[in-house]
Amino acid sequence: MNKPKFIFSIAAFFFICLLSFSTSFAQTENQPKQAEPSYEVVLHVLAASNIANDKTSVPQSLSNVVKKLKTTYTFSNYKLASTYLGRIANTGNFEFKIVSNEASQNQENYVPIFSEWSLGALRNLPNEKGQNSIQFQSFRFGQRVPVKTSAGVVNYEQIGLTMVKFSVPENVPTIVGSLSAAKPDELMFLVLTVKPAE
């Protein structure tokens, strides 16, 4: 092969590659953009105790969670303390701050509890079995709980849980952590459920 034909062949090859690339780029540009899929995120806070007059009262959807907890902990009663609901898009972030309305507090001695929780960088990815899994870059749950001193003064203490990069199965209530509660001899469990939003 002589030199001019060789140079022409290389130039033709690069021209075809460039033409193919520009055509596929134009097709991508012409496709309408679609919204990222959204997910409904539900955080249940369960309170566990051995108080005799407390009755176990949790939604049916959390019955398997309670069964699992009873295999590890010796608490006799579980009740739903709070439910938080949010909506987040794929790759999105979510932050929630409220004054908690704890059902266990009576009106006379009511002292507010400040709660906040957040999720960061949600992604829908298949797990090793090919099943849908929801991964987060970060998760944080925190509360400022009142602590009364002997003089009757209320001081607030910060409690919380922070996690980096974890995943939960899609549409399956999953225990993500536990925390001490404002009441002695009580423990809180955080249960996260993420499912595609309708």
The candidate with the shortest Cα–Cα distance to 196, out of 44, 62, 37, is 37
Check residue 15 and give its pLDDT.
Answer: 57
Q: Identify the residue with better confidence: 11 or 151.
A: 151
- CA dist., res. 89 & res. 92, Å (int): 5
More confident residue, 175 or 12: 175
167 DSSP β-pair partners: 135
Q: Which tokens in the block code for residue 19?
A: 């033409």
Question: If pLDDT is split at 50, 70 and 90, which confidence band does 103 have?
Answer: very low
Distance CA(26)–CA(174), nearest Å, equals: 44
| Residue 134 to residue 164: CA distance in whole angstroms | 14
Cβ atoms of 123 and 134 within 8 Å: the answer is: yes
pLDDT tens digit string along 127-158?
777 778 888 899 999 888 887 777 778 888 88
**What's this model's pTM, rounded to 2 decimal places?**
0.74
Place of tokens 């290389």: 10
Closest CA to 192 of 126, 139, 124: 139
Residue 146 DSSP SS3:
strand
Residue 107 burial class via C-beta count within 10 angstroms: exposed 0-12, middle 13-18, buried 19 and up: exposed
Residue 128 confidence (pLDDT): 76
CA distances from 111 to 49, 69, 104 (A): 21, 29, 11
- Looking at residue 113, what is its pLDDT? 83
pLDDT digits (tens, 9 = 90+) for 105-123: 555 667 788 889 898 888 8
Least confident stretch, 29-38, 77-86, 121-130:
29-38
Read off the pLDDT of residues 151-188 as tens digits, 9 standing for 90 and up: 778 888 888 899 999 889 999 999 999 988 767 678 89
More confident position, 161 or 8: 161
Angle at 154 between CA 151 and CA 156, to 5 degrees: 140
Whole-number average pLDDT of the chain: 80
